[in-house]
Chain A
């Protein structure tokens, strides 16, 4: 036992650990959060500010749990196809077996895969939201992600409501090789059906969105929006740097860069996400 633990100041008031692992946050551990400019703020303050640092407006990386909390009225929603779990169909193994990687990551994150999808209401409007979790193998896209988005789109069509996809992914999951590549086709196929049903598809790109996710559904929104300062691109910055043999210009591949190049409709601060969504959905529906 360490010295600190013996100190009565740090004695637990309640016995046992009472926070279930499903309630764990993607935010850094501990009570305090250190902002990019070095300020230290309370975690609760950060949470109350939608995980955006008050002074810099820095958008801390969050997961599906936090986004659902922000978007759905009273945090009420029904999960879609939550029973889908990744299967190692190719019997893939690198330094580690993919099957073990899945199990370990599930244990560590309390998630089944890198995406959760849900149906509920936002500002009174019905909506289907699918949101990636970067903590699960870098938000990588495998068969579960493709299939879950496909089912989410089907539900949006059935309920005649808008579809919001929150991307946060390094791209295709290498351990599912050809299968993961074809998820780009799968989701695109489903999006053609959503489009025929004349239902809005809002693609919301957050930090980071790269690779096969960018090169398919993330760029296909009826409107494409992003959080400020997010890294968005096809190839990763390191690969581009190696290819061209030069340093990349300041602000390259950020949301602001993509907006200026014409690939985003607008950038939305997370603190205004819900009200902006309400406005957008109303515009489509009224």
Chain B
């Protein structure tokens, strides 16, 4: 477990109790007696407080959680669910290797999957290296190359979505950011292998959808998925950056709302306190969900799967 955990403003009561527990343990180490009941009390208080906070999260708080600095990122999930049995593949065979999009073959319980997704960085240097998880066209083209590779060798595809958006840069436009995303939507719609897309953090707009066409689209509990970030929405519609909470509310971007509006297929519950509080539990859960969903999808014929996928997207919003 990470020692230097960071806490969001609304997580502060949790931090306080955790500090109290640490202090109590310290006292116990010094040989003083009577900490057992205090510890039990504090643990109970911790669970109760965490529950209270996490059962009443606002949409904006969920957005904040989706960006939590301690939250597992794509490669954390891949390494853990494959138990390290993963071969990262690089490059779009055209321009370069996009570090904001990662992917490769990974084995889960003896079966090979193609797993890919946007990758964020944890510190300033890493964040720059990963371009904050904002892929360029070559990232989307690399993703497509890997998905076509999976199709050729009949391996199911799992995409892990975590991006503040596709990169809005000069070279991205020159190399056709719009075309790259559009091509992926089209090709993913017709992929012969099962495809599941899981939003593990931020699901911002076309940049997310660019690897988001699947037989199952699933959101982790504390993530968001929408057409624009609450901040940008606030700046455009309210002409001020100060309405991000209102925008988060209005956009109906939580898993619950997205499921209600039939825009996603399922939600995966996170451990109490969020994926970052107990990452190992989260990895285990995700692995189970991937196995379960792929198993189900593999029972269908290729034509049936593509038909159901196409029909599902054809009816969205109706």
In the complex, chain B residues whose CB is within 8 Å of the CB of A188: 182, 185-186, 189, 213, 313
Interface size, chain B (Cβ < 8 Å): 54
- Whole-angstrom CA separation of A190 from B312 in the bound complex: 11
Extra pairs beyond A172-B205, A185-B212 (9, CB < 8 Å): A172-B228, A177-B226, A178-B225, A178-B251, A179-B316, A212-B227, A217-B182, A234-B172, A243-B167
Contact status B179-A219, CB under 8 Å: yes
Q: For residue B239, which residue of chain A has the nearest CB?
A: A95
Contact status B189-A189, CB under 8 Å: yes
- Whole-angstrom CA separation of A40 from B246 in the bound complex: 47
Contact status A186-B316, CB under 8 Å: yes
CB-CB under 8 A for A216 and B313, given A179-B261, A179-B263, A189-B189: no
Answer whether residue A1 sits at the interface, using C-beta atoms and an 8 A cutoff. no
Within 8 A of A (CB), among B138-187: 166-170, 172-179, 181-183, 185-186
Contact status A186-B317, CB under 8 Å: yes
Contact status B168-A235, CB under 8 Å: yes
Taking the nearest CB of chain A, how far is it from the CB of B9, in angstroms?
Answer: 25
Taking the nearest CB of chain B, how far is it from the CB of A155, in angstroms?
Answer: 15
**16 A-B interface contacts by CB (under 8 A):** A89-B317, A92-B250, A146-B316, A173-B227, A176-B227, A177-B226, A177-B251, A182-B316, A185-B313, A188-B182, A189-B309, A192-B189, A215-B206, A219-B183, A234-B178, A252-B170
Taking the nearest CB of chain B, how far is it from the CB of A151, in angstroms?
Answer: 11
- Whole-angstrom CA separation of A246 from B263 in the bound complex: 38
- Whole-angstrom CA separation of A233 from B170 in the bound complex: 10
- Whole-angstrom CA separation of A240 from B226 in the bound complex: 21
Q: For residue B213, which residue of chain A has the nearest CB?
A: A185
- Whole-angstrom CA separation of A246 from B171 in the bound complex: 13
Contact status A240-B173, CB under 8 Å: yes
Contact status A177-B169, CB under 8 Å: no
Taking the nearest CB of chain A, how far is it from the CB of B207, in angstroms?
Answer: 9
Most A CB contacts (10 A, CB to CB) among B210, B263, B314 go to B314
- Whole-angstrom CA separation of A6 from B167 in the bound complex: 59
Answer whether residue B294 sits at the interface, using C-beta atoms and an 8 A cutoff. no
Interface size band for A = 35 or more
Partner of B173, one of A147, A176, A182, A234: A234
Answer whether residue B193 sits at the interface, using C-beta atoms and an 8 A cutoff. no
Partner of B253, one of A178, A233, A261: A178
Answer whether residue A165 sits at the interface, using C-beta atoms and an 8 A cutoff. no
Contact status A183-B182, CB under 8 Å: no
Q: For residue A89, which residue of chain B has the nearest CB?
A: B261
- Whole-angstrom CA separation of A180 from B250 in the bound complex: 14
User: Digit string of B45-79 for contact with A (CB within 8 Å is 1, else 0)?
Assistant: 00000000000000000000000000000000000
Main secondary structure of the interface of B (DSSP, over half): helix
Answer whether residue B258 sits at the interface, using C-beta atoms and an 8 A cutoff. yes
Within 8 A of A (CB), among B242-265: 243, 246-247, 250-253, 257-258, 261, 263
Answer whether residue B318 sits at the interface, using C-beta atoms and an 8 A cutoff. yes
- Whole-angstrom CA separation of A262 from B173 in the bound complex: 12
Q: For residue B309, which residue of chain A has the nearest CB?
A: A189
Contact status B166-A234, CB under 8 Å: yes
Q: For residue B234, which residue of chain A has the nearest CB?
A: A94
- Whole-angstrom CA separation of A248 from B168 in the bound complex: 13
- Whole-angstrom CA separation of A193 from B213 in the bound complex: 16
Contact status A216-B316, CB under 8 Å: no
Answer whether residue A214 sits at the interface, using C-beta atoms and an 8 A cutoff. yes
- Whole-angstrom CA separation of A174 from B263 in the bound complex: 15
- Whole-angstrom CA separation of A215 from B227 in the bound complex: 12
In the complex, chain B residues whose CB is within 8 Å of the CB of A212: 205-206, 227
Answer whether residue B190 sits at the interface, using C-beta atoms and an 8 A cutoff. yes
Partner of B176, one of A173, A177, A190, A261: A261
In the complex, chain A residues whose CB is within 8 Å of the CB of B181: 215-216, 234
User: Digit string of B285-318 for contact with A (CB within 8 Å is 1, else 0)?
Assistant: 0000000000000000000000001110111111
Answer whether residue B233 sits at the interface, using C-beta atoms and an 8 A cutoff. yes
Within 8 A of A (CB), among B27-51: none
